[in-house]
Chains A and B, each alone.
Chain A
């Protein structure tokens, strides 16, 4: 069975600074997908970034990038130039490539961006 661990329940960062959220996972699968979702106070779940395990290149989306270390089973999210609107709960999620596309979520990291 797969597991996803987010070891930082809460973090804070100054506006315009850079912050890294950690995520580790355990799986015996070779092909899978990893995701970061953002949940602001509105409760809406928003896809931030996605990484395919077969791609060595780290995914980037504007100010968001990941450090994907497949051998170490690590998938951290880096937020550059943090903005007040980045204040949210962030969830890491794992999905096997084949099957019924079920997600395994981590427990989340609550990020607060300070003015």
Chain B
């Protein structure tokens, strides 16, 4: 499986502070995604990327921005954290369409608490 790591694994931050979560892959996968997981909502897409500097919004993108300056790194930034952004954040990658297996590989998640 492709290597994917998220950092940090846990973070507590104060309301109004900026926060950046990092997703790093060791393979050359084109597609990367940020999801948030909340009870009763499952996982919802925040932003995704389909190449270096190519990103787009998901269904819950308000209050979040992303950047992808290198193939291997996909950063998620909360410009001014709010309590509603307390959640578990997952990064995921997937292989390109030529490969039969379309399943995601997920990072281990980041639990973010905004106090």
Contact = CB atoms under 8 A, between A and B. Distances in A.
Contacts of B50: 100
Instruction: Classify chain B: how many residues form its interface, as a range.
Output: 20 to 34
B90 interface: yes
A45 B37 CA distance: 11
Contacts of A43: 88, 108-109
Contact of B103 (A6, A35, A91, A100): A35
Contact of A107 (B35, B41, B102, B106): B41
Given A43-B88, A45-B90, A102-B33, A91 B106 contact: no
Contacts, number: 50
A45 B45 contact: no
A57 to B, nearest CB: 15
Most chain A CB within 10 A, of B48, B101, B104, is at B104
Interface in B79-98: 88, 90, 92, 94, 97
Contact of B42 (A35, A44, A100, A106): A106
B31 A107 contact: no
Interface in A5-49: 6, 33, 35, 43-45, 47
Contacts of B45: 102-103
Contacts of B106: 44-45
B104 A103 contact: yes
A33 B102 CA distance: 8
Contact of B48 (A4, A35, A91, A100): A100
A100 B31 contact: yes
A23 to B, nearest CB: 11
B108 A47 contact: no
B8 interface: no
Interface in B22-68: 31, 33, 35, 40-45, 48, 50, 56, 58
In this complex, which of A4, A43, A102, A103 has the most chain B Cβ atoms within 10 angstroms of its Cβ?
A: A103
29 contacts: A4-B42, A6-B42, A33-B102, A35-B103, A43-B108, A44-B106, A45-B104, A45-B109, A47-B103, A50-B101, A50-B102, A91-B42, A91-B43, A95-B102, A100-B48, A100-B50, A101-B31, A101-B94, A101-B102, A102-B45, A103-B33, A103-B35, A103-B43, A103-B92, A105-B35, A105-B43, A107-B41, A107-B42, A108-B42
